[in-house]
Amino acid sequence: MRKNVEFGTEDGTVLRGWWYAGEGSDSRPGIVMAHGFSATKEMFLDDFAELFHGAGFDVLVYDNRNLGESDSPLPGEIDPWQQVHDYRDAITWFSQQGGVDADRIGVWGSSYSGAHVLVVAAIDRRVRCVVSQVPLVTGLENARRLVRSDHWDGLRAAFDADRRARLAGEPPAMIPVAFENTPDEPCALPTQDTHDFFFGPIRERATTWRNEVTLRSVELFTEYEPQAYVPRISPTPLFMVVATGDVLTPCDLALSAYEKALEPKRLLTLPGGHFDAYVDEAFAVSGPAQLQWFTEHLLK
């Protein structure tokens, strides 16, 4: 059974999502899930959640703050560390719900949230198992892959100008997530497959998605280094999914981070690009493999 839920974070922001709840009085293992950079829960997270729920897990899926149906104290602001804190508040709330076994909680993330769950699993020992799909692992190096070298000085100047403006009381500068018409339009995620994903058929399902984030979100992206936490995840079991043709969170960066992880760990490589991981043949392979990992470490 899926029901709409909302819960408060430590600073009072209300996050909203779905709870796929089991039946009966027995305590069940739980999985906490959120989406990536600007994405909302309707962008295929229900497919993963239904798969996990059908195998006996309670699943909490929620929209990150400032996105989707959750509260937006700073609309379009994507602060990776705030999202890490919100994951931990989500775990706290979920663990206190009837029917959920607080000693058997796993976390799942993809893309930007795939980065967050690496950090959460390393610092929060309540997490018993983690699945990280096509994750960002190094903000600066990843950004250098996405932004032309001759554009960096201008981008840094824009960050500085935005900081001065905010200090003077002006609203944060905004930038599109994806280009809408041509690749030369300024945007946060300047790849063709990002455009194709966000402006494709998913728009019919994800009606709350907005093609706009704060420029500060991009600056925070460049400063975020979840790979530093990867060696600290052990002994929590880590499952990482990497797409070999990924140009948004490049495969080689993710593989390098995986090599730094200690056991227990498992790697699954998928053909195709970043967004292929959510659908069709890739989901048919990856979904059951992820379920097996959660089952091995949370159900048994």
Question: Tens place of pLDDT for every residue, the chain, 300 residues?
Answer: 899 999 999 999 999 999 999 887 789 999 999 999 999 999 999 999 999 999 999 999 999 999 999 999 999 999 999 999 999 999 999 999 999 999 999 999 999 999 999 999 999 999 999 999 999 999 999 999 999 999 999 999 999 999 999 999 999 999 999 999 999 899 999 999 999 999 999 999 999 999 999 999 999 999 999 999 999 999 999 999 999 999 999 999 999 999 999 999 999 999 999 999 999 999 999 999 999 999 999 997
- Model's pTM, two decimal places? 0.97
Q: Residue 119's closest CA among 134, 105, 135, 103?
A: 135
User: Which numeric CATH code is attached to 2-144+225-299?
Assistant: 3.40.50.1820
Domain coordinates of the chain in residue numbers? 2-144+225-299
